[in-house]
Amino acid sequence: MIKLVLWGVRRPGITAAEYFDGNHRVHGDLVRNGPPDFREAIQRYTQSYAFDGAYGRTGAPVFASVSELWYESSESLQANLAHPYYAQQIVPDGDNFADQPASIVHLAVEQPVLAPLRGEGIKVLHWLQTADGVEASALEQFWAPAHEEGREELTGLLGYVRNRIPPDAPAIAGVPPAAYDAIWIDTEADIPAFQRYARRLQAAGATAGVLDPAGCMYLLCHERRIIDRLA
């Protein structure tokens, strides 16, 4: 299974409420109510809306939401994007609420480590950026052990998923992260624990020469499910 991931930036001149209404209600309904051969290719579609976050550097895109769409294969994803309904209805509607040139779109493969409770608690999306010249294999060797070492910091853990960027994936829009993880925590009282975890992970990655903390960031989100054939 493969995912299409969209890190959405809010269009200038609209409020967060207008962005949510345009993306969740209008755009979500367009996808749900599309032609059967379009909508049935999408196995799961979630939208995660950021209510807070932290960026490693000034000038980084400020993401309002992250949409993730699951497909059975790369072929079914490409067929979905080539569908006339996508070009004629879905893409033009995105201009009503999103700054599409500033948004980032890429493919990812998800590995659940602790099965998440979709739509529950707080979903934290942790964007990881490698240091210059670091190979994907070095990130792989670092990532899992570093998470296990820092996991003791986490409280209220409801789920954990690693998302890798396929090395042969075509560029879609913008520059994607080197990888990202999703961590579900129970309540806002567990946010400081996540922040300690993130600082520890990024510091360890910098010391190991693997991560660039200035390129890392995280979003604190509420997740909404649009389609879920995998539940």
Query: What tens digit of pLDDT does each residue of 136-160 get?
Result: 899 999 999 999 999 988 999 999 9
Note the pLDDT of residue 171: 76
| Residue 231 reports pLDDT greater than 90 | no
CA distance 3 to 68: 6
Q: What is the pLDDT of residues 72-126, one digit of tens each?
A: 999 999 999 999 999 999 999 999 999 999 999 999 999 999 999 888 999 999 9
pTM recorded for the entire structure: 0.94
As a whole number, mean pLDDT of residues 174-193 equals: 96
Q: What is the pLDDT of residues 43-78, one digit of tens each?
A: 999 999 999 999 998 888 899 999 999 999 999 999
* In contact, 221 and 200? CB cutoff 8 Å: no
Instruction: Write the DSSP string, 90-126.
Output: IHHHHTTTB-GGGSEEEEEEEEEEE---TTSSEEEEE
Q: Which CATH class is domain 2-228?
A: alpha beta
Note the pLDDT of residue 59: 85
Among candidates 110, 121, 187, 185, which has minimal Cα distance to 151? Answer: 185
